[in-house]
């Protein structure tokens, strides 16, 4: 797969364990309890995908499916200024970078599928925060909900494959939809664990959330 690639997380150990970062063309599922840092991680990934390539970014646009309206552009810019001051402190650049992230608020899976099928060439990252909230929509029975979910998971997977972009989705409980990275806290310390690291046994990395976002 010569066209395959990775979105670097800039978190050194994590990138190494992931052979370069979040892989293109597959679903990566971030699983963890409320408040652990899933959305914070998604904000950082969004910034990284939109950064110019000479700064290690993908110079692209991002579609951020913000199902629970938890996206805060103020926080995004705070992380940008603290993590990439050389870019974000240039006149107009914070707005330019934030403008590359398209926030969508679909209320159902079908509305989501409709919006995302408009995915353009410049889109280099798709984030679904959170998958569970998106699935909870309009279905009257568990069976019809499961059927719709199955269809949409296939749809999202093929979207990742055909457009060869990383797709990151968050969930409080595991759904086994994609390659799973688990976030948890133990004795007051947060950890991120890559269940499917291609090069090593499952590795857990301690992390913190600071004004610069998620840091190891």
List interacting residues with ligand ATP (CB under 6 A).
32, 34-40, 70, 75, 172, 209-211
Residue 70 or 157 having the CB closest to ligand ATP: 70
Rg of the Cα atoms in the chain: 17
Q: How far is the CB of 192 from Mg ion (least distance, A)?
A: 14
Which does residue 166 touch among ligand ATP, Mg ion, none (CB within 5 to 8 A, set by kind)?
none
Residue 36 or 116 having the CB closest to ligand ATP: 36
Residue 17 or 192 having the CB closest to Mg ion: 192
Q: How far is the CB of 80 from ligand ATP (least distance, A)?
A: 12
Q: How far is the CB of 41 from Mg ion (least distance, A)?
A: 9
Q: How far is the CB of 34 from ligand ATP (least distance, A)?
A: 4
Q: How far is the CB of 143 from Mg ion (least distance, A)?
A: 28
Which does residue 181 touch among Mg ion, ligand ATP, none (CB within 5 to 8 A, set by kind)?
none
- What CA–CA distances, in Å, run from 144 to 108, 148, 151, 163, 184? 13, 6, 11, 28, 32
Residues 16-55 that bind Mg ion (CB under 5 A): 38-39
- What CA–CA distances, in Å, run from 45 to 58, 127, 128, 173? 10, 9, 12, 21
Residue 35 or 206 having the CB closest to Mg ion: 35
Which does residue 209 touch among Mg ion, ligand ATP, none (CB within 5 to 8 A, set by kind)?
ligand ATP
Which does residue 73 touch among ligand ATP, Mg ion, none (CB within 5 to 8 A, set by kind)?
none
Residue 73 or 172 having the CB closest to ligand ATP: 172
Q: Which residues bind Mg ion (CB under 5 A)?
A: 38-39
């Amino acid at each position: 797969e010569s066209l395959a690639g990775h979105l670097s997380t800039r978190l050194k150990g994590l990138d190494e364990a992931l052979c370069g970062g979040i892989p293109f063309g597959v679903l990566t599922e971030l699983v963890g309890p409320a408040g652990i840092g899933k959305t914070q991680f998604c904000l950082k990934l969004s910034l990284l995908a939109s950064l110019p390539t000479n700064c290690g970014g993908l110079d692209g646009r991002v579609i951020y499916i913000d199902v629970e309206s938890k996206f805060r552009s103020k926080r995004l810019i705070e992380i940008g200024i603290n993590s990439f001051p050389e870019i974000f402190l240039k006149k107009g650049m914070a707005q330019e970078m934030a403008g590359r992230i398209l926030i969508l608020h679909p209320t159902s899976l079908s509305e989501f599928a409709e919006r995302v099928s408009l995915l353009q060439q410049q889109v280099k990252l798709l984030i679904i925060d959170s998958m569970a909230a998106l699935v909870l929509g309009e279905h009257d029975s568990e069976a019809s909900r499961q059927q719709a979910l199955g269809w949409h998971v296939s749809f999202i997977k093929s979207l990742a494959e055909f457009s060869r972009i990383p797709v990151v989705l968050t969930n409080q409980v595991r759904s086994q939809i994609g390659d799973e990275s688990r976030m948890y806290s133990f004795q007051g310390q947060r950890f991120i664990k890559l269940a499917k690291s291609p090069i090593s046994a499952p590795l857990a990395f301690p992390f913190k959330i600071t004004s610069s976002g998620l840091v190891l």
